[in-house]
Amino acid sequence: MALWALLVFAVLLVGCGDGPITLPPGEGVDPATLDLEDDALAAQSLLAYARLNDYANSWTSLGPEGGYAGHPNHASRLVTYLDPVAAEWLEGASKDGAGDPAAIPEGALILQEGYSSEGEFQDIWMMLHREGYDLTGREWFWANLSPEGKVRASGKPEQCWFCHFSMRSNEMVFSFPVPGVVPLRGEGEGESEGTEAAVEISQADRRVAEELWRSLEEADYREEWTTGLKDPGYAAVRDARSVHSESLALYLNDAAADCLEATPETMPDGAVLLLEHLDEQGNAQALDVMWKRKGYDPENGDWFWAEFAVDGRLEKAGAGAGCRDCHQAALTNDYLFRYPVAIVHL
Ligand code: HEC
Ligand code: HEC
């Protein structure tokens, strides 16, 4: 081998940092009964098990193919997988009705892959449900590993739960409403309720909605507002129950955007979060809006909820508008799913 090749080889080896890691055997690992005492070993065993089962091809993935734009504390692009136990639980509960939030099955495992904006695979995060494991952490075992299998955090790390604790009303989960946390509407009922809600908009709420629409028209939000932490056209995380379309653009006015860094528990008065539903060409189809109005509905976080057609026609509006019953899952995070605003400051 030429000297330069040896040099390159040596540099590569050093560049690898910790060098290759041999994972424990994945064979025989059962997430429902795996010993969690040695938490780093458990984290690696879970990864070995997931890989042995070819999770990327055989597990259920949430959201669209190729992943979706993630919160910066995780990664630019996320792909989230549910092991068969978690997938069956989520699907069953979506189909059959309410479910029981206290009954997340043993061995339910959520695995998330994180990629940089350049597409480099950087992280693996896992949440494994284990009854009695950690009551403060809502009985989840947490793990964060490098793709090589180096354990970055495992067990009951504060660094995971202090942020996920914002979603304690939803069993610590951000990406989807946990079955049973909010009552599910029966088959067909959803639609009739939707039209009812549209009929039932009060005059007062109509006026509020008109005020909101005018302010949106004036604001030129596509140019002026913060697109949140996500790119317009970011793909939504969806399970069977999510109502928002697959491709979304999220816009935040200044009051809402300023608050993302500060995480002051709740969004401030005047905050507006606007979710555009996009079609395949990237054109807006409908607008879902949350507007924080101090004194509007103090019992329910003072949110005014509205859905507009693109021409401003009002579809839904009010203190619930068929929106709050689902966003209720995120009660402890000021009704927001994807932005931690109620982080516990340690
Ligand atoms: C600053 C907040 C924050 C911290 C810290 C954090 N997460 Fe998350 N996590 C989120 C958010 C927000 C999501 C929703 C998806 C996204 O990232 O856009 C999420 C999603 C997840 C998911 C997918 C299931 C779900 O809840 O949606 C897993 C698994 C996960 N995180 C594991 C971890 C682990 C393990 C750690 C600690 C090493 C950790 N997280 C630290 C905010 C955080
Ligand atoms: C069946 C559950 C459900 C219903 C009903 C629902 N939403 Fe959502 N909403 C979600 C989920 C899940 C997300 C997170 C989507 C994502 O980023 O992948 C979300 C996100 C949002 C966001 C972005 C802020 C956030 O929470 O992350 C806004 C704004 C919003 N919804 C408004 C509305 C409005 C207005 C309505 C009623 C017209 C409504 N939603 C009805 C589940 C629901």
Q: Which of 36, 109, 112, when mutated, tests ligand 1's pocket best, judged by the most ligand atoms within 8 Å of its CB?
A: 112
Given a cut of 80, whether residue 197 has pLDDT beyond it is no
CA–centroid distance, residue 305 to ligand 2 (Å): 10
Q: Which of 306, 303, 288, 180 has its CA nearest to residue 236?
A: 288
Ligand nearest, relative to CA of residue 151: 1
Given a cut of 70, whether residue 159 has pLDDT beyond it is yes
Number of residues written out for the chain: 346
Q: Which of 174, 181, 229, 250, when mutated, tests ligand 1's pocket best, judged by the most ligand atoms within 8 Å of its CB?
A: 174
Q: What is the pLDDT of residue 234?
A: 56
Q: Which atom of ligand 1 is nearest to the CA of 162?
A: 5
Two tokens, residue 113: 């892959």
Q: What is the dihedral of CA 195, 198, 202, 208, to 10 degrees?
A: 160
Q: What is the pLDDT of residue 232?
A: 52
Q: From CA 298, how far away is CA 292, in angstroms rounded?
A: 10
Instruction: Report CA 269 to chain centroid distance, whole Å.
Output: 24
Span 78-88, average pLDDT: 91
Tokens 């075992």 map to which residue? 141
Q: What angle (nearest 5°) sits at the alpha carbon of residue 26, between those of residues 24 and 28?
A: 115
Taking CB atoms and a 6 Å cutoff, what residues make up the pocket around ligand 2?
176-177, 236-237, 241-244, 250, 273, 275, 288-290, 305-307, 316, 321-323, 326-327, 336-339
Two tokens, residue 337: 């799913």
Q: From CA 81, how far away is CA 59, in angstroms rounded?
A: 6
pLDDT, tens only, 130-154 = 998 988 788 999 999 999 999 999 9
Two tokens, residue 163: 């942020």
Q: From CA 162, how far away is CA 72, in angstroms rounded?
A: 16
Higher-pLDDT residue of 295 and 257 is: 295
Q: How far apart are the first and last CA of the chain?
A: 54
- Identify the band that residue 88 occupies on the pLDDT scale cut at 50, 70 and 90: confident
Span 307-332, average pLDDT: 92
- Identify the band that residue 8 occupies on the pLDDT scale cut at 50, 70 and 90: very low
Q: What is the pLDDT of residue 97?
A: 56
Span 163-172, average pLDDT: 90
Q: Check: CB of residue 166 under 8 Å from CB of residue 34.
A: no
pLDDT, tens only, 238-262 = 554 556 666 778 888 999 888 776 6
Q: Which of 55, 35, 54 has its CA nearest to residue 45?
A: 35
Higher-pLDDT residue of 157 and 75 is: 157
Percent above pLDDT 90 for the chain: 49
Given a cut of 70, whether residue 164 has pLDDT beyond it is yes
- Identify the band that residue 35 occupies on the pLDDT scale cut at 50, 70 and 90: very high
CA–centroid distance, residue 164 to ligand 1 (Å): 6
Q: Check: CB of residue 330 under 8 Å from CB of residue 303.
A: no
Ligand nearest, relative to CA of residue 167: 1
Residue located nearest, by CA, to atom 1 of ligand 2? 242
Given a cut of 70, whether residue 13 has pLDDT beyond it is no
Q: Check: CB of residue 172 under 8 Å from CB of residue 342.
A: no
Residue located nearest, by CA, to atom 39 of ligand 2? 323
Q: What is the pLDDT of residue 342?
A: 73
- Other CB atoms within a 10 A radius of the CB of residue 164 amount to 22
CA–centroid distance, residue 173 to ligand 1 (Å): 8
CA–centroid distance, residue 338 to ligand 2 (Å): 9
Q: From CA 215, how far away is CA 271, in angstroms rounded?
A: 12
Q: From CA 198, how far away is CA 108, in angstroms rounded?
A: 38
Q: Which atom of ligand 2 is nearest to the CA of 335?
A: 26
Q: What angle (nearest 5°) sits at the alpha carbon of residue 11, between those of residues 10 and 14?
A: 90
pLDDT, tens only, 169-195 = 999 998 888 877 776 554 334 444 444
- Other CB atoms within a 10 A radius of the CB of residue 77 amount to 22
Q: From CA 312, how far away is CA 217, in angstroms rounded?
A: 9
- Identify the band that residue 49 occupies on the pLDDT scale cut at 50, 70 and 90: very high
Residues 6+ apart with CB under 8 A from 23: 44, 45, 47, 48, 51, 149
Q: From CA 257, how far away is CA 226, in angstroms rounded?
A: 6
Q: What is the dihedral of CA 293, 295, 301, 305, to 10 degrees?
A: -40
Given a cut of 90, whether residue 58 has pLDDT beyond it is yes
Given a cut of 80, whether residue 228 has pLDDT beyond it is no
Given a cut of 90, whether residue 310 has pLDDT beyond it is yes
Q: What is the pLDDT of residue 259?
A: 75
Percent above pLDDT 70 for the chain: 78
Two tokens, residue 152: 């970055």
- In our burial notation (b when 16+ CB lie closer than 10 A, e otherwise), range 303-338 reads bbbbbbeeeeebbbbbbbbbbbebbbbbbebbbbbb
Q: From CA 188, how far away is CA 196, in angstroms rounded?
A: 13
Q: What is the pLDDT of residue 191?
A: 42
Q: Which of 310, 312, 305, 299 has its CA nearest to residue 327?
A: 305
